[in-house]
Structure 1
Amino acid sequence: MNFKNIHIGSLIEKKAAESGIEISRICNFMKCNEDQVNIMYRSHDLSTNHLLRWSKLLEYDFFRLYTQHLILYAPPGSMNQHNKETEKKSQLPVFRKNIYTKEIIDFMMDLLHKGVKTKAEIIREYRIPKTTLYKWITKETTANPNEYENA
């Protein structure tokens, strides 16, 4: 999966085809006609309301695709961001942990295994907690003992 360039419409179309849901049910749930559904399938992006409805209908969290994009490609925040002086209370909920999917873990392990990044670079650039990275490495080396011995 390419998290850098997300074409949400085509991904929704694939999931809808996999689910085998009839177009009449989709139209009824989405409150639109077949032409509008096809337009959504061709759309590079959708409103959050439409994306939420698709997520419910197809029982798949399409928002997580964008979360993975942020984890991989968003620039890390300033180190001063966590300074007590500059910390401001937000009205929005603060999430304590990032969501690391199998794809993210595999991506990080691949960078490490191929020597593209060191452990320290992964920790610093992607802001992965050191203990989290080492847990992933331990799991991977347990599953594939010879694969990461040089990392």
Structure 2
Amino acid sequence: MAAIDDALHEAQALLGTEVGVSNWITVDQAMIDSFAHVTHDTQWIHVDQDRAAAQTPFGGTIAHGFLSLSLASRFAYDCFPMLPGQVMGINYGFNKLRFLSPVRAGSRLRGRFVLTEANKRNARELLRENTLTIEIEGQDTPALVAQWLGLAVFE
């Protein structure tokens, strides 16, 4: 049996189960400022600590939603090592994405993955969908929930 067939069989046995929880990452003001600079999104709720403390219900600055989402790749590295015979992994996109709670500067985030679908696209490509929940330490409502597609490419 080819490596991709083994991977598909293993994935299908895990459908509906939690397949990984990442390490925590602190989203501090320096990270938020760097992201604002790179993306040219310098809206004051992200970068003006004094104004955000005085004029928002958040008590200070909050991270960009796309900053929280961009950490998904790091979370995936923590949870998904390369499979036997896999030569690369490709971000294939999202079927659904919802930002549910603001991420205050200084918060810690982690990713939680539940495998929801796995299909062999062709002889070299395994497409997996995971429900990704990015949790905020100490909060009941996550930062976001997404249906994330990843393509595992085999030799």
TM-score range, shorter chain: under 0.3
Higher RCO, Cα 8 Å, sep 6+: 2
Larger-Rg structure: 1
Higher strand share: 2
